[in-house]
Structure 1
Amino acid sequence: MMSGAQLAVTEMRRATRHPVAHKVIGEHRTLGDVHFNIVNISAHGFMVEGQPSFARGERVTIRLPVIGRIEAHLIWLTEDRGGFQFERIIRLDDFMKMIDTIQPNPRLRASR
């Protein structure tokens, strides 16, 4: 029997990350609501600061502006950060609209 996340997309750690300071409430199947502070995001995933209370491979569903509900899997974990990969890739046009919403300072947005 396989364990851990069965991802539909390959890991893309080299994808362009956008610095943000966006708080979300994630839905976890056993922990219920989990508060996250997203500090960077790409079309493939996001990084949070603060200790997520679960193990690699576990899933969480978050709600993002423009995108709506999207599921993500915990890929890596350190003492104070966690990296999540989205279950599906976000379309570029929707992703850029979302970045404009959650990162209103154009100087902090990656060049397009």
Structure 2
Amino acid sequence: MAGGAQLSVTDLRRAARHPVDYPVIGEHRERGDMGLHIVNVSAHGFMINSSPDLQRGDRVTIRLPAIGRIEAHVIWTMDERAGFQFERIIRFEDFVKMIDQMQPNPKLRRRR
């Protein structure tokens, strides 16, 4: 049996991304807890800039403000960066609350 998620992903990279500087603990089924640093986020997923040897298809569970625990799958990796897709799309109202807590500087938030 092959490891990792079998993903059929629509290209969602055009979704509005919000720059953040947000450290989280990712829970990996085989590797345990790992520190991740989220540098941008959208309603569909997020990007980290310090990939701890993750591979496409790996799953991690993270805890985000206003959202709580959510699972995400690695969609791509490049050098030290990795892009993740959430297991579900985050509702707009919850996304706004999350961004307000993750990016407290209103000058850095995108217009809504």
Q: TM-score, length-normalised on structure 2?
A: 0.92
Unaligned runs of 5+ in 1: none
The corresponding residue for 1:37 is 37
- C-alpha displacement of 1:75: 0.4
Find the aligned partners of 2:103 and 2:22 in 1 and give their Cα distance.
8
- C-alpha displacement of 1:98: 0.4
Mean alpha-carbon deviation: is it higher for 97-106 or for 3-12?
3-12
Find the aligned partners of 1:105 and 1:62 in 2 and give their Cα distance.
23
Give the percent of matched residue pairs that are identical in Structure 1 and Structure 2: 65
Find the aligned partners of 2:87 and 2:8 in 1 and give their Cα distance.
6
The correspondence of residues 1-112 of structure 1 with structure 2, limited to 5 A, is 4-7=4-7, 10-112=10-112
Find the aligned partners of 2:6 and 2:96 in 1 and give their Cα distance.
27
Find the aligned partners of 1:29 and 1:100 in 2 and give their Cα distance.
30
Preserved CA contact (<8 Å) 1:19 1:39: yes
Preserved CA contact (<8 Å) 1:52 1:82: no
Unaligned runs of 5+ in 2: none
| CA spacing shift, 1:94–1:18, aligned 2, 3 Å | same
Q: Which amino acid aligns with 2:48?
A: V
Equivalenced residues, count = 112
Find the aligned partners of 2:6 and 2:98 in 1 and give their Cα distance.
26
- C-alpha displacement of 1:2: 7.2
Q: Which amino acid aligns with 1:94?
A: D
Mean alpha-carbon deviation: is it higher for 71-80 or for 48-57?
48-57
| CA spacing shift, 1:9–1:55, aligned 2, 3 Å | closer
Find the residue that maps to 1:38 and give its secondary structure.
strand
Q: TM-score, length-normalised on structure 1?
A: 0.92
Q: Which amino acid aligns with 2:109?
A: R
Find the residue that maps to 1:36 and give its secondary structure.
strand
